[in-house]
Structure 1
Amino acid sequence: METRLFKYPASKFNVHRAHIGVVGSGDLEILLEPSNEPYTYVELRTGINGFEETWKKVLDRFFSNHDLAANIKINDFGATPGVVSLRLEQVLEVSKSYENA
């Protein structure tokens, strides 16, 4: 099991707590918590070793478009980069849905 930490600058503080996905074969779970710091901290836990560069590229791409201030935990069980991107977009969508609730 690998644990990786990533940090991205952030300026949007209108984030709400959200949870998406399940830890299962080929999938992942993302837990999003709001933060008061001007950064997003990502804690990635994965059972698949050796893909740090791939993770970095996927996360860099996502956070270049979304500069939300949050603490994010990702629990991975072999998700492909496409699934990772989809789940990140989904957790952001769920978080935004609480703005109008």
Structure 2
Amino acid sequence: METLAYRFEQGSRALPAQAQVVGVVGSGNLEVLIESASLGGACTIDISTAAVGFGATWEAVMRDFHERWQLKDARIAINDMGATPAVVSLRLDQAVQTMLGDAP
């Protein structure tokens, strides 16, 4: 298992107070927990992954996510069992959309 942590400053979009879980940890998938937290306008993302050695890929996916959503005062935890970057992006988007009431 590998643990990665990212922090993005100066977000502009706040989330509602409730927490949201999206996805299921299992073969080839992941779970995302997202919650509002007092972080001085930052968004933190903590990742536990079975796919060791993909830090650069994770960083690119997390930066892309932050650029799209610009979350502030948000804490995100990801438990991964080898999901592809596309699935990671999908689950993150689902979590935010569900919290904001924008679920497709």
- Gapped runs of 5+ residues in structure 2? none
- Gapped runs of 5+ residues in structure 1? none
| Aligned position for 1:29 | 31
Give, in whole Å, the separation in 1 of the partners of 2:12 and 2:45.
16
Deviation at 1:45, TM superposition (A): 0.2
Give, in whole Å, the separation in 2 of the partners of 1:72 and 1:21.
13
Give 1:49's match in structure 2, choosing from 48, 52, 57: 52
Report the residue type matching 1:62 in the other structure: F
Q: Report how many residues are paired.
A: 98
Matches within 5 A, 1:1-101: 1-9=1-9, 10-15=11-16, 16-37=18-39, 38-69=41-72, 70-97=74-101
Say which structure is richer in strand: 1
Deviation at 1:17, TM superposition (A): 1.6
TM-score, normalised to structure 1, is 0.90
Deviation at 1:36, TM superposition (A): 2.2
Give the 4+ runs in structure 1 shifted more than 3 A: none
Report the residue type matching 2:30 in the other structure: L
TM-score, normalised to structure 2, is 0.88
Q: Do the aligned partners of 1:11 and 1:39 also contact (CA within 8 Å) in 2?
A: no
Q: Do the aligned partners of 1:13 and 1:36 also contact (CA within 8 Å) in 2?
A: no
Once the two structures are overlaid, the 10-residue window that deviates more, 14-23 or 25-34, is 14-23
* SS of residue paired to 2:52: coil
Superposition RMSD on alpha carbons, in Å? 1.4
* SS of residue paired to 1:75: strand
Deviation at 1:82, TM superposition (A): 0.6
Q: Do the aligned partners of 1:23 and 1:29 also contact (CA within 8 Å) in 2?
A: yes
